[in-house]
Amino acid sequence: MSGELAPIDKAKFVAAKQASEFVESGMKVGLGTGSTAEWLVQCLGEMVREEGLKFKGVPTSKRTALLAKKVGIDVITLDEAKWLDLTIDGTDEFDADLTLIKGGGGAHLREKIVATASDRMIVIADATKKVDTLGAFPLPVEVIPFGLPVTQGLIGEMLTSMDVLGRDVVQRMQGDQPYVTDEGNFILDLHLKRIGNPRQLSLMINQIPGVVENGLFIDVCDVVIVGYGDGRVATRDITNDTGNVVQFDVLDDDNIFVDIAD
């Protein structure tokens, strides 16, 4: 990597770089999915190769597993790890309570299982992910393929009784084919615009037959590290809220990442 990053990438990168400092030798660490989590995996790979960091990583997707192995991280499964010290992952939205919408990359099922099996979850995000009210980002719901139209219809009916503005339930596609998750399921994206009561909505969605898991993460995230395009990083710790903002200029070193293009 060389040259200056675009502001959005710099924001993701500085958040990821800051979060990587929470990883210590001997830890078992959940590795999230998505473009921000990929920066983290790159940073951790560099620490493994250059600083002798020794930890075990549990990827939340096939895509992350591939990258983690490529950059030299010792990858194990959640079954092997049993419990994790820490999970670091990206998000699509977060609010003041550190409630999240995740699953824009279709990985929220494994991500929620891994984060829940961790002592601590740190979310890394660029500043655009902070919202006053969740719901502008469509809420992903993983559903089994069997009976899809029935499940989709039941979710639509349920939404009419909820405090939401939008009610469109749209199957996620990849080209002209249904998007298929790592677990072989489909995703329905709920275009809600505004989620008034995330806890109630999450419970209601998950009780519909055919639903595997929705993308709301409630009482799971402990810390959010927010990166800005100018290199600043702000940390919000729900257990110890200092609201600290630190300047974190990490773009001096041009050659910290391996080439993963091949």
Ligand X SMILES: O=C[C@H](O)[C@H](O)[C@H](O)COP(=O)(O)O
Q: Is residue 102 marked as binding?
A: yes
Residue whose CB is less far from ligand X, 101 or 201: 101
Task: Please give the Cα distance from 221 to 219 (Å, whole number).
Answer: 6
CB under 6 A: which stretch of 69-77, 86-94, 141-149, 168-176 binds ligand X?
Answer: 86-94
Residue whose CB is less far from ligand X, 122 or 154: 122
**In contact, 15 and 38? CB cutoff 8 Å:** no
Query: Is residue 102 within the footprint of ligand X (CB under 6 A)?
Result: yes
Q: Scanning residues 36 to 75, which ones bind ligand X (CB under 6 A)?
A: 36-37
Q: Which of 17, 221, 15 is nearest to 122 (CA)?
A: 221
**One-character DSSP codes across 35-83:** HHHHHHHHHHHHHHHHH----EEEESSHHHHHHHHHTT-EE--HHHH-S
Query: Is residue 30 within the footprint of ligand X (CB under 6 A)?
Result: no
Give the pairing type, strands 74-75 and 56-59: parallel
Query: Is residue 104 within the footprint of ligand X (CB under 6 A)?
Result: yes
Q: Which of 154, 135, 121, 150 is nearest to 216 (CA)?
A: 135
- Choose which of 13, 15, 18, 33 interacts with ligand X (CB under 6 A): 33
Catalytic residue chosen out of the listed positions 38, 46, 111, 142:
111
**One-character DSSP codes across 159-212:** HTTSSBS--EEEE-EETTEE---TTS-EEEEEE-S-BS-HHHHHHHHHTSTTEE
Residue whose CB is less far from ligand X, 123 or 169: 123
Is 111 labeled as catalytic in the residue annotation? yes
Least Å distance, CB 109 to ligand X, is 9
CB under 6 A: which stretch of 84-92, 181-189, 193-201, 224-232 binds ligand X?
Answer: 84-92
Query: Is residue 110 within the footprint of ligand X (CB under 6 A)?
Result: no
**In contact, 60 and 110? CB cutoff 8 Å:** yes
Query: Is residue 32 within the footprint of ligand X (CB under 6 A)?
Result: yes
Task: Kindly report the backbone phi and psi dihedral angles of residue 106, in degrees, each rounded to the nearest multiple of 5, phi listed first.
Answer: 80, 15
Query: Is residue 89 within the footprint of ligand X (CB under 6 A)?
Result: yes
- Choose which of 20, 64, 91, 152 interacts with ligand X (CB under 6 A): 91
Collect all residues with Cβ–Cβ distance below 8 Å to 232 and sequence separation of at least 6. Answer: 14, 245, 246, 247, 248
What is the H or E stretch that residue 115 is in? helix 108-116
Closest residue to ligand X using C-beta atoms:
34
CB under 6 A: which stretch of 27-35, 79-87, 160-168, 248-256 binds ligand X?
Answer: 27-35
Task: State the number of binding residues for ligand X (CB under 6 A).
Answer: 18
Query: Is residue 93 within the footprint of ligand X (CB under 6 A)?
Result: no
262 is written with which tokens?
A: 């091949």
Annotated binding site for substrate: 33-36, 89-92, 102-105, 129
Site residues, ligand X (CB under 6 A): 32-37, 89-92, 102-108, 111
Active site residues: 111
